């Protein structure tokens, strides 16, 4: 596991973004952990999160010309990742969409740089994949090419069928989904810490029930 992945997991736990216990997901599954990226809600936390996104993007080796953030969470993440990439010497344009098309002022559905070339989508987690599918349509409609999606955590969890939302996107659209860390990374991190042994066991059982095979 790359050091930045370990650091990211420790950071999420420290920020309360990643927690353990008994929670119920929207789909009604009882899960032993939760991940809420909305709790990265201070300037310092956002700056650190953006640095992790930049590291994951650069480590992936995916070629891209610009970033796109789906409204609403993706807006802040794409802007933050663009700033962090600029600090790493990679200055790229970014854009995001409105939920409601604006008819006055500058108008339109998009804000920021024009969608062009190879576009990397930045979001938090992929649960149903709806925001990504809408983004793919928007990018294609502007004559640009989506080359991948970058997210914070890959839950590695099946949707309604045998595949996860991530696997469905990768299979259907032929683009990679890059994550800062995956559920396997989290389990690996927990396994070597005695105070989290019970949490590790609970997540292992959950993974056996609802998990998918490893994917990038």
Domain-wise residue ranges, the chain:
3-210
What pTM did the predictor assign?
0.92
The two three-digit tokens of residue 140, written as one number: 């294609």
| Residue of 73, 102, 192, 215 with catalytic role | 102
Q: CB count, 10 Å around CB of 108?
A: 11
Q: Is 102 a catalytic residue?
A: yes
Q: Is 6 a catalytic residue?
A: no
CATH numeric code, 3-210: 3.40.50.2020
Residues whose CB falls within 8 Å of the CB of residue 124, separated by 6 or more in sequence, listed in order:
37, 38, 73, 74, 77, 151, 152
**Splitting the chain (216 residues) into consecutive groups of 10 residues, what average pLDDT does each group show?**
93 97 88 94 97 98 97 95 97 92 63 97 86 93 97 91 90 95 96 95 95 69
Under 8 Å between Cβ of 145 and 171: no
Under 8 Å between Cβ of 206 and 35: no
| Residue of 104, 173, 192, 214 with catalytic role | 104
């Amino acid at each position: 596991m790359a050091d930045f992945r370990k650091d990211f997991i420790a950071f999420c736990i420290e920020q309360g973004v990643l927690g353990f216990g008994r929670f119920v997901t929207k789909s009604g599954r009882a899960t032993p952990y939760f991940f809420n990226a909305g709790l990265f809600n201070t300037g310092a936390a956002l700056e650190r999160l953006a640095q992790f996104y930049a590291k994951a993007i650069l480590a992936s080796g995916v070629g891209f010309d610009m970033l796109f953030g789906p409204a609403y969470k993706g807006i802040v993440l794409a802007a933050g990742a663009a700033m962090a990439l600029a600090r790493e010497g990679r200055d790229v344009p970014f854009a995001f969409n409105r939920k409601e098309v604006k008819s006055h002022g500058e108008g339109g559905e998009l804000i920021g740089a024009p969608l062009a070339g190879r576009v990397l989508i930045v979001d938090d987690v992929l649960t149903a994949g709806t925001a990504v599918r809408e983004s793919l349509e928007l990018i294609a409609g502007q004559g640009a090419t989506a080359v991948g999606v970058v997210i914070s955590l890959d839950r590695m969890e099946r949707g309604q069928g045998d595949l996860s939302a991530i696997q469905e996107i990768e299979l259907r659209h032929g683009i990679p989904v890059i994550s800062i860390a995956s559920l396997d990374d989290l389990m690996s991190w927990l396994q070597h810490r005695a105070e989290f042994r019970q949490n590790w066991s609970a997540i292992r059982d959950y993974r056996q029930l609802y998990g998918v095979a490893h994917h990038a």
